[in-house]
């Protein structure tokens, strides 16, 4: 059997597993399917997610549902102005019997860390997450501790309350792979939410679908998706164009190019596409690049005001002629799935 033929069952299995995960999240959180799809993309890219939305829209519930569906260890950090960095990373405690200090790991030593209302913590405490998000390690008392793998930070912030908040600096915003907004549910979704919670919360009935081993295998498949040089150049031109727009004070960094590349590979993989195309890249501009750009115009601070900005940006960059779809998006190792127990 040829490698391409052998990859087809595994590719179909990847689509089935990610689709089941999205369905499980949708059973708990009433959000647009496209938004939940992007959450899965962020997860497969080993990225960190910033959820910016009004209160009561299910940001915390989404994090809990994701951890439960994947059977991951999750810790929640309620950010407040008096929260200290050691409350996140951990603290050394003196043992009088052994006459030495022992490091007590903080909540950051989990697979999924929920930093609730992160903009209520002081900049010093916010910075405690920088090393963990960038390197997957924590340094304390001249020692470096490795964080578990997989590791993901999901942070929430409320954009409508500014009293007693500390806006995230650009350096930390850039550490987040993606920024999403769940938005208000439509009428049908809101009615469905009320009907589903009459006898309890759907989160209580959610069963694990995957485990850590399967998740790591899925993440490894994203790294096998190839990106043609014309598509890489197209991504580069789009990101570089953000630095030249008149309404932009600070454009997206090269880290934005890498994030856009990785997200497009993951989206192509779970969509069953054989290659990354411009149609895969375009919908990722807002969630991947918007929080990495410093806008001059106040109207561009809102997602509604950025629609025209992205249209102008896309029209300023020529779409490459490359549209070949004759190569598989990846060469998945079918044995990795046939020999893996997907349940927890």
Residues 132, 138: contact at Cβ < 8 Å? yes
Comparing 20-29, 234-243, 320-329, which segment has the lowest mean pLDDT? 320-329
In a domain, 263, yes or no: yes
Write the pLDDT tens digit of every residue in 21-62: 999 999 999 899 999 999 999 999 999 999 998 888 888 999
pLDDT at position 4:
44
Confidence of residue 169 (pLDDT cuts 50, 70, 90): confident
How many domains would you assign to the chain?
A: 2
pLDDT at position 162:
64
pLDDT greater at residue 107 or residue 273: 107
Above 90 in pLDDT, residue 191?
Answer: yes
Above 50 in pLDDT, residue 128?
Answer: yes
The residue ranges of DSSP E strands in 171-291, in sequence order, are: 178-180, 248-250
Q: Are residues 304 and 261 in the same domain?
A: yes
In a domain, 25, yes or no: yes
In a domain, 300, yes or no: yes
Above 50 in pLDDT, residue 332?
Answer: no
Residues 26, 37: contact at Cβ < 8 Å? no
pLDDT at position 299:
81
Q: Are residues 156 and 244 in the same domain?
A: no
Mean pLDDT, residues 266-285 taken together = 92
Query: How crowded is the C-beta side of 23, counted as CA atoms within 13 Å?
Result: 9
Of 134, 181, 172, the residue nearest 286 (C-alpha)? 181
pLDDT at position 303:
83
In a domain, 195, yes or no: no
pLDDT greater at residue 280 or residue 2: 280
Question: What phi, psi does 156 have (nearest 5°)?
Answer: -120, 150
Residues 129, 24: contact at Cβ < 8 Å? no
pLDDT greater at residue 310 or residue 161: 310
Mean pLDDT, residues 10-15 taken together = 82
Q: Are residues 293 and 181 in the same domain?
A: no
Residues 290, 303: contact at Cβ < 8 Å? yes
Q: Are residues 51 and 180 in the same domain?
A: yes
Above 90 in pLDDT, residue 284?
Answer: yes
Give the whole-angstrom CA distance, residue 27 versus residue 196. Answer: 9
pLDDT greater at residue 177 or residue 58: 177
pLDDT at position 160:
61
In a domain, 164, yes or no: yes
Write the pLDDT tens digit of every residue in 68-99: 999 999 999 999 999 999 999 999 998 888 88
In a domain, 318, yes or no: yes
Q: Are residues 38 and 179 in the same domain?
A: yes
Above 80 in pLDDT, residue 259?
Answer: yes
Confidence of residue 3 (pLDDT cuts 50, 70, 90): very low
Of 134, 114, 130, 113, the residue nearest 168 (C-alpha)? 130
pLDDT at position 300:
84
Q: CA angle, corner 250, sides to 122 and 55, nearest 5? A: 45
CB atoms within 10 A of CB 275: 20
Q: Look up the pTM and report it.
A: 0.88
pLDDT at position 328:
42
Give the whole-angstrom CA distance, residue 88 versus residue 105. Answer: 9
Q: In residues, how long is the chain?
A: 344
The pLDDT > 70 percentage for the chain reads 90
Give the whole-angstrom CA distance, residue 87 versus residue 75. Answer: 12
pLDDT at position 301:
81
Chain-wide mean pLDDT for the chain? 87
Q: Are residues 177 and 289 in the same domain?
A: no
Mean pLDDT, residues 288-309 taken together = 88
Q: For tokens 């969509």, what's the residue?
A: 271
Give the whole-angstrom CA distance, residue 236 versus residue 252. Answer: 10
Full residue range of the structural domain in which residue 292 is found: 225-322
Give the whole-angstrom CA distance, residue 28 versus residue 182. Answer: 13
Q: Are residues 61 and 153 in the same domain?
A: yes
Q: Are residues 39 and 49 in the same domain?
A: yes
In a domain, 201, yes or no: no
Confidence of residue 165 (pLDDT cuts 50, 70, 90): confident
């Amino acid at each position: 059997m040829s490698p391409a033929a052998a990859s087809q069952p595994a590719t179909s299995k990847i689509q089935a597993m990610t689709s089941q995960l999205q369905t499980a999240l949708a059973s708990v959180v009433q959000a647009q399917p496209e938004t939940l799809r992007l959450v899965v993309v962020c997860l497969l890219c080993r990225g960190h997610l910033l959820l910016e939305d009004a209160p009561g829209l299910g940001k915390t519930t989404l994090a809990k549902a994701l951890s439960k569906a994947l059977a991951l260890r999750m810790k929640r950090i309620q950010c407040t102005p008096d929260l200290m960095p050691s409350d996140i990373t951990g603290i050394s405690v003196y043992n009088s019997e052994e006459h030495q200090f022992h490091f007590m790991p903080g909540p950051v030593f989990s697979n999924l860390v929920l930093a609730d209302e992160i903009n209520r913590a002081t900049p010093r405490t916010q910075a405690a997450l920088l090393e963990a998000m960038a390197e997957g390690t924590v340094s304390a008392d001249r020692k470096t501790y490795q964080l578990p793998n997989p590791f993901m930070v999901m942070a929430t912030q409320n954009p409508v309350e500014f009293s007693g908040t500390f806006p995230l600096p650009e350096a930390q915003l850039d550490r987040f792979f993606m920024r999403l907004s769940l938005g208000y549910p439509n009428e049908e979704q809101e009615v469905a939410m009320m009907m589903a919670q009459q006898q309890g919360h759907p989160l209580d009935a959610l069963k694990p679908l995957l485990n850590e081993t399967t998740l790591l295998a899925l993440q490894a498949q994203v790294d096998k998706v190839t990106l043609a040089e014309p598509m890489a150049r197209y991504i580069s031109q789009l990101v570089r164009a953000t630095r030249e727009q008149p309404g932009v004070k600070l454009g997206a960094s090269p880290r934005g190019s890498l994030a856009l590349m990785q997200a497009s590979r993951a989206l192509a993989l779970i969509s069953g596409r054989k290659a990354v195309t411009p149609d895969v890249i375009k919908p990722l501009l807002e969630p991947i690049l918007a929080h990495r750009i410093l806008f001059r115009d106040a109207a561009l601070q809102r997602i509604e005001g950025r629609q025209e900005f992205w249209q102008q940006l896309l029209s300023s960059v020529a779409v490459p002629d490359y549209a070949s779809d004759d190569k598989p998006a990846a060469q998945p190792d079918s044995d990795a799935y046939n020999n893996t127990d997907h349940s927890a």
